[in-house]
Amino acid sequence: MVKLHCLADICIIPIGTPTASVSDYVTACVNYVAQSGVKYTLHSAGTTLEGEWDEVMQLIGELHELCHNELEVVRVQTDIRVGTRIDKAQTAADKVRVVKEKLEARNSQ
C-alpha cells in the first residue's frame, strides 16, 4: 500500500468507437468518478483526481473496467500524469490559485 496523497491528471481515450465524438464516454466516466467520492476537477482535456495514491489508481482501473464492460469499448488508452509532494498539502485548486495570484501581481506592476 502506497501512503502518498497525489494529484493525477488523466485523459481516458476510448479507441475504435463508432464516431469521433467521445462526450458520451467522458460523461459516463465523470459520473462514475463523482459517485466514487474522490475529489476531481474536470477540464477540457481530461480530469484531475485528488486523493490517496491507491484510491486514485484503483479508480483509474475501475474506469477502464467501466469502458470495457459497460460501454463496450474494445481498447482503452489512458494518459496519466501524477504529482506528489511531502512538504505540504496542496489541492488542484490551490495550484491554480497561486498562479492566478502571481499573474495578477505581475500584471499590476
Instruction: State pLDDT tens for residues 7-31.
Output: 999 999 999 999 999 999 999 999 9
Domain assignments of the chain as residue spans, ordered by start? 5-107
Query: Positive or negative CA dihedral for 15, 54, 42, 86?
Result: negative
Q: Is the pLDDT of residue 109 over 90?
A: no
Give domain 5-107's CATH architecture. Answer: 2-Layer Sandwich (3.30)
Q: What is the Cα–Cα distance from 38 to 52, expressed in whole angstroms?
A: 9
Query: Could you read off the pLDDT of 29-79 as tens digits, one per residue?
Result: 999 999 999 999 999 999 999 999 999 999 999 999 999 999 999 999 999
Full-model pTM: 0.91
